[in-house]
């Protein structure tokens, strides 16, 4: 059974509509000249002050966006502070394997792989930043 099928709902909506129409029409018929002047003054002052209120709201919103932009942390800034074990170690020192030192070459390969992966990621991020700055410049030139 749908809510529209309920006769109580339709009678309730009809009652609300009748009350709204009756109250609105009676409020305007009972108004005196003083009430009309007051209403016109309220509407005019709203229309006059609205653009200034909108500008004030825009300034406040702009300050809030600037504050939020300063608070956000760029993940790329944090990457320099993270230490990955073995990334900065020298490969030449470790390639001289000592007797009984198992897995040394595997660790060297792993460190080389990590370095190469980080370099590729850095290049990719650098290219993305350059592309983004190019898009911003193009936007300013065309806009």
The answer as to whether 65 is a domain residue is no
Instruction: Give tens-digit pLDDT for 34-73.
Output: 999 999 999 999 999 999 999 999 999 999 988 887 777 6
Kindly state whether residue 59 falls inside one of the protein's structural domains.
no
Q: How far apart are CA 16 and CA 84, in angstroms?
A: 69
Sign of the alpha-carbon dihedral angle for 126, 128, 130, 132? negative
**108-119 tens-digit pLDDT:** 888 889 989 999
Residue 61 located in a structural domain: no
Q: How far apart are CA 60 and CA 90, in angstroms?
A: 53
Domain count, the chain: 1
Judged on CB neighbours under 10 Å (0-12, 13-18, 19+), 64 is exposed
Give the separation between CA 1 and CA 125, rounded to whole angstroms. Answer: 58
20 occurs within a structural domain: no
- Report if residue 55 sits inside a domain: no
Overall pTM surpassing 0.85 (yes/no): no
Rg of the chain's alpha carbons, rounded to an integer? 36
Question: Residue 86: inside a domain, yes or no?
Answer: yes
In a domain, 84, yes or no: yes
Domain presence at residue 85:
yes
Residue 99 structural domain: 76-143
């Amino acid at each position: 059974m749908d809510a529209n099928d309920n006769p109580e709902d339709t009678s309730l909506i009809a009652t609300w509509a009748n009350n709204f129409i009756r109250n609105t029409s009676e409020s305007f018929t009972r108004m005196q000249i003083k009430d009309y002047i007051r209403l016109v003054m309220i509407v005019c002052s709203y229309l006059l002050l609205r653009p200034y209120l909108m500008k004030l709201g825009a300034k406040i919103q702009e300050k809030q966006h600037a504050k939020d932009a300063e608070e956000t942390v760029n993940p790329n800034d944090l990457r320099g502070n993270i230490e990955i074990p073995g990334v900065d170690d020298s490969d030449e020192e470790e390639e001289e394997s000592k007797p009984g030192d198992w897995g040394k070459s595997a660790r060297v390969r792993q460190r080389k792989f990590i370095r190469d992966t980080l370099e590729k990621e850095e290049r990719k991020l650098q290219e993305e930043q350059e592309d983004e700055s190019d898009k911003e410049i193009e936007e300013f030139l065309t806009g």
